[in-house]
Structure 1
Amino acid sequence: MTTPAPPAPTVRKGRLALLSATHAVNDLYQAAIPAMLPFLMDERGYSYTAVSGLAFAASGVSSLSQPLFGVLTDRRTRAWLVPAGFCVAAAGVVAAASAPNYLITWLCVALAGLGIAAYHPPATSQARVAGGSSQKAMSVFSVGGTVGGALAPPLVTLTIGALGFSGGRLLAVPAAVMLLVWLWRGRIPAAPARRADAAPGAAGSGLTDDWRSFARLVAVIIGWSIPYVTVTSLVSLHAQRDLGQSAAAGAATLTCCTAAGAVGTLLGGWLGDRFGRLTALRAGYAAALPALCGVVFAPVYPVLVVSATLFGLALFVPYSAHVTLAQDYLPNRPGTASGLTLGLAMAAGGLCSPLFGRLADARGLTTTLAVLIAVFAVPVLLTWRLPERSPHGPVAGAPGDRPAPAPVAGGAR
């Protein structure tokens, strides 16, 4: 007899939509910080090193604390961390806009990063439950974050750019509205630990954690994060300082990059369900490398915009695969897996930001961005060392192979 396949989990569309909306709001504040950097340089006279320090405060502090929130989420579901996270992120960004000096600005940005860290593990675990094992469902949740990131530069330009830093108070509006929606819809309940459609690795699943494969994935994500954080922090300045464009044009370049990331996330979910998530992951990394070269060596502004758009598109094709692979490599610790991967996805870039800032002060933006090409070549190669793993158990065959069809008794027909 044919071994019955596990039942396909039902996608809870309402729950997934609400979580995707909170993700958009949360990551809006994450992206608002790099969007504020050119205004901080112009109005407060900060150097590249100083603004890179702010990028570290947001990304580094957030990412280093995110695994701790993941461990807490594995021990006990804390749904309240979802609204608390994006509200604290909003408070930090708004306070940074009115901070009187660099130290206070740094602390406010770090507070925003802490809120961002608190949000991601519980929200990601709940999204995996709501979407089951579907790459499309996880890509919908992920794209909420990239949509929020794409909205941040124009929103910051319309508020701080038009009204000065006093207009930063208006940045609190998205979080206030989302909090009201969350309270109106009610708290998202925790999923029962032993439901068949719960997140892979729920208690009692009997699956083992594959730490070796997880470590390889972490290395890939580290190589992903450094170019991502550096490009999003410096591409607006690259457009202005090296190609003679306005602040609005620089913000538009960043918007194109992040908006394309939303499309890339959805494309990655579709490719993952159709051709296998490792195929989507490897294709995204391979396509992002030449696009990064275009960003670095763009001779004119239109080439920079096209290259930044393609870079954002390709770079986010693997995004949902990052999350689901991590949770399937550590099926008994989905919150920890989410915290480590999503945390490291920002931590390495944030920790390296001050170094790239110093390099930019000493050698210029073009040289700094060129270094990223060598950095990014490493994860492109490492993707071929990642094995596939089903939510229901290891997958036989060579690393990256899709699950083979179940054998039929009596031989092939």
Structure 2
Amino acid sequence: METLRPKRTLGIAGAAHALHDGCTDLIYVLLPLWQTEFGLGYGALALLRGVYAGSMAALQVPAGRLAERWNGRAVLACGTLFTGLGFVIAGSTGSVWGLCAGLAIAGLGSSTQHPIASAAVSRAYGSAGRGPLGVYNFSGDIGKAAIPALMSLLLMALSWQLSLGLIAGLTVALAVVIAVWMPPIAPATAAAEKRPRIGGGRGGFRLLLTIGILDTGVRMGLLTFLPFLLRDKGAALPTVGLGLALVFVGGAAGKFLCGWLGARFGTLRTIVVTEGGTAALIFVVLAAPLLPALLLLPLLGMVLNGTSSVLYGAVPEVTLPHQSQERAFALFYTGTIGSGALSPVLYGALGDAVGPVWAVTATALVALTVVPFAFALAPRLER
């Protein structure tokens, strides 16, 4: 039975990662509907996305500390329940303010997932945790592909309010599974004794975080406008959902492939390829008709999401010996998710000023600015 506990922990943590990340990204499918129903501009739509991501980012570290003092499994279950409650509120009030309140509550609930679920997997496997943590990270990308696609199918038969209610039902069911079947999370002290400490050069973490913030901003800015770009190319709502699913499927493959490439060819070369490829493919998708653009979306998703797997893997290399890896990961998640909250608002305001095409062009240019930071970071990483 003891040998099954880590596998059960990984399975439930992976399910939580998939559902929470999927719930975060299904918002992109709903943006065109909210624009029509509430008469919102791109900046206001990006702000709605930012409300969810902002509340999730702001509470990453507090959620981790709460789990250290209380039962982490209970905190994760309650957070998952709050995500479902937030979606119910968002779909039932009928107003923009109610929608904002619901998204804020849902984001608050989702803030518990990353610090608690990743720590649960790490502590369950100890020094053998790198592989299971890779599976856990990959499960989030599966959710990003599956949940938005499920929402698109539901929207073909139901209103967005009822569709969001059904997704909320899934989160409530998962909260019950976490509370009843997830094994207790090992204390931090026991896990720390099993994990080797890795040091890095001073300033390396700041450079890595800067790259993560810029990379996340490019990804979230592009995804905010992608539904509108596809719509303007003639895509119906189900096709928009398909396009997003293609990006997320490509992103899942990219996270797996680029993690391997980073280990084999180095962080610098991988980042240069992914960020340069992201910029190039954004320009091609902007210029292409609908069908060729759809065919290119999986490849765009691979390079768009591939950098993140390299960056997460480099966090231990730039963590100083006297620092906690858990705290370093929490700060890195806070910075990147915070970028995911703020950057769509900035790109949305730019879209209102100059149009969505130029706003997406700006994301490609920002992707290219990551490359000099990667060259500065490379000497600070262990070979």
SS in structure 2 of the partner of residue 284 of structure 1? helix
Choose from 133, 140, 143 the match for 1:145: 140
Q: CA deviation at 1:246?
A: 1.0
Choose from 226, 231, 241 the match for 1:235: 226
1:152-199 CA-to-partner distances (Å, cap 9, x unmatched) read 222222334421123321112322332333234233321552557734
Choose from 31, 42, 52 the match for 2:36: 42
Pick closer, same or farther for the CA change 1:380–1:90 going to 2, 3 Å: farther
Say if 1:191 and 1:198, in contact at 8 Å, map to a contact too.
no
Distance in 2 of aligned mates of 1:269 and 1:75: 34
Choose from 237, 247, 252 the match for 1:257: 247
Pick closer, same or farther for the CA change 1:195–1:38 going to 2, 3 Å: closer
Q: Quick check: 187-196 or 232-241, which moved more?
A: 187-196
SS in structure 2 of the partner of residue 162 of structure 1? coil
Choose from 271, 295, 301 the match for 1:312: 301
Distance in 2 of aligned mates of 1:305 and 1:64: 34
SS in structure 1 of the partner of residue 73 of structure 2? coil
Pick closer, same or farther for the CA change 1:268–1:12 going to 2, 3 Å: farther
Pick closer, same or farther for the CA change 1:386–1:326 going to 2, 3 Å: same
Pick closer, same or farther for the CA change 1:316–1:106 going to 2, 3 Å: same
1:285 is aligned with what amino acid? E
1:105-135 CA-to-partner distances (Å, cap 9, x unmatched) read 1111111111122221122223334454665
Distance in 1 of aligned mates of 2:292 and 2:67: 44
TM-score (norm 2): 0.87
Pick closer, same or farther for the CA change 1:379–1:179 going to 2, 3 Å: same
- Verify: 1:51 aligned to 2:42, yes or no: no
Distance in 2 of aligned mates of 1:128 and 1:278: 26
Distance in 1 of aligned mates of 2:324 and 2:74: 20
Distance in 2 of aligned mates of 1:346 and 1:292: 22
Pick closer, same or farther for the CA change 1:179–1:64 going to 2, 3 Å: closer
- Verify: 1:169 aligned to 2:165, yes or no: yes
Distance in 2 of aligned mates of 1:58 and 1:328: 31
Pick closer, same or farther for the CA change 1:86–1:226 going to 2, 3 Å: same
Choose from 159, 170, 178 the match for 1:182: 178
Pick closer, same or farther for the CA change 1:371–1:157 going to 2, 3 Å: same
Distance in 1 of aligned mates of 2:25 and 2:336: 14
Calculate percent identity across the aligned residue pairs: 23
Q: Pairwise mapping of residues 347-358 of structure 1 onto structure 2 (< 5 A)?
A: 347-358=338-349
Aligned to 1:217: 208
Say if 1:149 and 1:258, in contact at 8 Å, map to a contact too.
yes
1:327-356 CA-to-partner distances (Å, cap 9, x unmatched) read 443363233222222222221232132232
SS in structure 1 of the partner of residue 235 of structure 2? coil
Choose from 99, 120, 127 the match for 1:126: 120
RMSD over aligned Cα atoms: 2.8
Pick closer, same or farther for the CA change 1:71–1:379 going to 2, 3 Å: farther
Aligned to 2:110: 116
Distance in 1 of aligned mates of 2:271 and 2:129: 15
Structure whose alpha-carbon radius of gyration is higher: 1
Choose from 90, 101, 106 the match for 1:107: 101
More helix by share: 2
Aligned to 1:395: none
1:250-287 CA-to-partner distances (Å, cap 9, x unmatched) read 11111111111111122233334545556545543343
TM-score (norm 1): 0.81
- Verify: 1:301 aligned to 2:290, yes or no: yes
Say if 2:123 and 2:191, in contact at 8 Å, map to a contact too.
no
2:375 is aligned with what amino acid? W
Aligned to 1:391: none
Say if 2:153 and 2:238, in contact at 8 Å, map to a contact too.
no
1:351-384 CA-to-partner distances (Å, cap 9, x unmatched) read 1322322222232211110011121112233122
Gaps of 5+ in 2: none
Aligned to 1:392: none
Aligned to 2:335: 344
Distance in 2 of aligned mates of 1:366 and 1:321: 29
Say if 1:77 and 1:122, in contact at 8 Å, map to a contact too.
no
Gaps of 5+ in 1: 1-10, 202-206, 388-397, 403-413
Q: Quick check: 348-357 or 110-119, which moved more?
A: 348-357
Distance in 1 of aligned mates of 2:301 and 2:312: 18
Q: Quick check: 126-135 or 282-291, which moved more?
A: 126-135
Say if 1:143 and 1:266, in contact at 8 Å, map to a contact too.
yes
Aligned to 2:350: 359
Aligned to 2:373: 382
